[in-house]
Chain A
Amino acid sequence: MKPFEIVRVEDLAGACREAKATAGSVFKAAGIDLLDRMKERQFNPESLIDLQALRKDLGKLRVDADGGVSIGALVTLSQLASAAELSDAAFAGLREAAGVAATPQIRNRATVGGNLLQQARCWYLRSAAFPCAHKGGETCFAMYGENRYHAVMGYDDCVRVHPSNLAPALIALGAEVTLQRGDSERRAKITSLWPDKPTAAGPDHTLAVDEIVTWIHLPKHKPGTRSAYCESREKQSFDWATTAAAAVATVEAGQITAASLCLGAVAPGPVPIAKASEMLLGKAPTAALCDEVAAAAFAESKPLYHNAYKVQAGKAIAAQALRLALGLEN
């Protein structure tokens, strides 16, 4: 890592203020993803604004008055995976997503906010040796290079994949976020964190340099709602997902009354599948229906030279997540 300074702040306002005032600064929570990039000297901020003092507030989960759950952005993945506030079956997918991410050691420090905003694991992007288009160069080296772990859909001129396990699980749950910038606070859909059309020149996320995700809000779900998160990976011990899917569904009197599906690890951003709920609502849950929806989710996939396998695996994973959420499989 190049030399840098650490700026410790005591509250949100101070954090935003310092971020705005300090050129070349970036927020740091646990710093897992950040240090990784800085060690590669691929990203060299001069100033890290350390948010860890905010853990006493943002490091918690709370059950809201409306019955939903709010998750502080500095909650760790380990906390999330075993949170009593998320014991309902509606949140099973979120707990699973947190519990299978990275390694036990990483989960003990990595935060929800950091997980959502981490950079893609593209090996060209992460290596200082490749002046790739997503870091100001001209070429997406992966597009016609070694792309076995890259995007199969939703890409334009950069085929990185969104690596967050939590993003699809939270999107499927219909989560919202609270964002703080200066003295003002706003609430938005969680999907607004990422660009609609991720490009090489475009950012990884939509936050301003002095803007912080503070809370993630999960709406209350109807009784009988279940969720699931599934991923394909090459190793069972610590690995990155090659495809991921999160599904949430409510079944009442044999009919699907609510459903959503979101894919991960297949595109530069998380991929909510809008047509999934259209296809599922009002129908009786069957495995065949799950296969149909999964196939539809990948209908517009455009695999690259080395990653066609992800389409097939991704369909299987999406169908499995749906079956679990619909209670067709345990």
Chain B
Amino acid sequence: MHSTPHAPLGADFSRRSFLKGASVAAVAGTSAAAADTAATSRVTRFGPGLHEITLQVNGAARKTQVEPRTTLLDALRNQLDLTGTKQICDRGACGGCTVLLDGVPINACMTLALDVEGRELKTIEGLANGDDLHPLQRTFIECDALQCGFCTPGMIMSGVACLEAGATKSREQIAGCISGNICRCGTYTRVVDAIQMAAKQGGGR
């Protein structure tokens, strides 16, 4: 048995030779084919090995190394130790990994980390300002909109998006906003209560 850590950056993992791109780091390269043809656009290749990227998470630039196959969820949880974002179904069907991408809720498990470089990410860890909780975090506690708590971060992120979109006219509309989030303990009614309460307190538009 042997231990093989990650291959070094730019290792000979790829099937073709690379040229180092001027404006992109490490393994990213401009393809020879592209360079041959004048007046054609640039093509940039990544991987399959490791590549250094910078993610904008909760207002901070976080450098990390990912393979093209590394999902945003894995990068957040394993590389950046932001484990509030949960891995549950890993197929975009449960909402446990919901984060906000440019303010919009998405499934981190169905998103490649490379794809969101340079875009604004917000995770559950970025909602509160120190001990000062986000209004929705407070109403979640007030309404006891959680039990085991494993779906809770994803629920809250969907709820924050719901509030920010002002989609709080009715319980049905709120329920629609969290319809991509599964809870097994059965907190849905109280999650809707919590979003409604936050909206009434001015958390929504």
Listed in ascending order, the chain A residues whose CB lies under 8 Å from chain B are 1-11, 13-14, 17-18, 21, 30-32, 35-36, 38-39, 46, 48, 50, 52, 78, 102-106, 108-109, 236-238
Closest B residue by C-beta to A7: B45
Q: Say which residue of A6, A21, A36 sits within 8 Å of B110 (CB atoms).
A: A36
Task: Verify if B34 is at the interface (C-beta below 8 Å from A).
Answer: yes
- Complex contact B41–A13 (CB within 8 A): yes
Closest A residue by C-beta to B51: A6
Question: What residues of B have a CB within 8 angstroms of the CB of A52 in the complex?
Answer: 115
* A85 CA to B42 CA, complexed, in Å: 33
Question: What residues of A have a CB within 8 angstroms of the CB of B115 in the complex?
Answer: 31, 50, 52
- Complex contact A105–B158 (CB within 8 A): yes
Task: Verify if B126 is at the interface (C-beta below 8 Å from A).
Answer: no
Closest A residue by C-beta to B158: A104
* A9 CA to B49 CA, complexed, in Å: 19
A233 to chain B, nearest CB (A): 12
Q: Say which residue of A4, A5, A48, A108 sits within 8 Å of B105 (CB atoms).
A: A108
- Complex contact B68–A8 (CB within 8 A): no
- Complex contact B158–A4 (CB within 8 A): no
- Complex contact B107–A6 (CB within 8 A): no
Kindly identify, within residues 17 to 62 of chain B, every residue whose CB is under 8 Å from any CB belonging to chain A.
31, 33-34, 40-49
Task: Verify if B92 is at the interface (C-beta below 8 Å from A).
Answer: yes
Q: Say which residue of A4, A14, A108 sits within 8 Å of B48 (CB atoms).
A: A4
B157 to chain A, nearest CB (A): 9
Cβ contacts B99-114/A at 8 Å (1 or 0 each): 0010011110011101
Task: Verify if B186 is at the interface (C-beta below 8 Å from A).
Answer: no
- Given A14-B40, A52-B115, A103-B179, A6-B45 contact (CB < 8 Å): yes
- Complex contact A11–B41 (CB within 8 A): yes
- Complex contact A32–B179 (CB within 8 A): no
Chain A contact residues: helix, strand, loop or mixed: mixed
- Complex contact A3–B110 (CB within 8 A): no
Q: Say which residue of B44, B49, B69, B180 sits within 8 Å of A104 (CB atoms).
A: B180
* A248 CA to B105 CA, complexed, in Å: 32
- Complex contact A17–B33 (CB within 8 A): yes
Question: What residues of A have a CB within 8 angstroms of the CB of B176 in the complex?
Answer: 104
B76 to chain A, nearest CB (A): 15
Question: What residues of B have a CB within 8 angstroms of the CB of A2 in the complex?
Answer: 69
* A32 CA to B115 CA, complexed, in Å: 12
- Complex contact A3–B180 (CB within 8 A): no
Listed in ascending order, the chain B residues whose CB lies under 8 Å from chain A are 13-15, 31, 33-34, 40-49, 67-69, 71, 90-93, 95, 98, 101, 104-107, 110-112, 114-115, 158, 161, 175-177, 179-181
Question: What residues of A have a CB within 8 angstroms of the CB of B34 in the complex?
Answer: 14, 17-18
* A7 CA to B115 CA, complexed, in Å: 11
A241 to chain B, nearest CB (A): 15
- Given A105-B95, A105-B98, A5-B180 contact (CB < 8 Å): no
Listed from nearest, the 8 A-B pairs whose CB atoms lie closest are A103-B180, A3-B48, A10-B41, A237-B179, A1-B69, A14-B41, A8-B44, A6-B68
A4-B47, A104-B161 given. 13 additional CB < 8 A pairs? A4-B69, A5-B14, A5-B46, A7-B43, A7-B45, A11-B41, A32-B110, A38-B69, A39-B90, A103-B181, A108-B105, A237-B175, A238-B179
A95 to chain B, nearest CB (A): 14
- Complex contact B41–A9 (CB within 8 A): yes
Question: What residues of B have a CB within 8 angstroms of the CB of A36 in the complex?
Answer: 91-92, 110
* A3 CA to B111 CA, complexed, in Å: 15
- Complex contact A5–B47 (CB within 8 A): yes
* A40 CA to B71 CA, complexed, in Å: 14
* A5 CA to B115 CA, complexed, in Å: 13
Question: What residues of A have a CB within 8 angstroms of the CB of B69 in the complex?
Answer: 1-4, 38
* A10 CA to B40 CA, complexed, in Å: 9
* A7 CA to B21 CA, complexed, in Å: 13
* A32 CA to B13 CA, complexed, in Å: 25
- Complex contact A5–B68 (CB within 8 A): yes
B63 to chain A, nearest CB (A): 19
B118 to chain A, nearest CB (A): 11
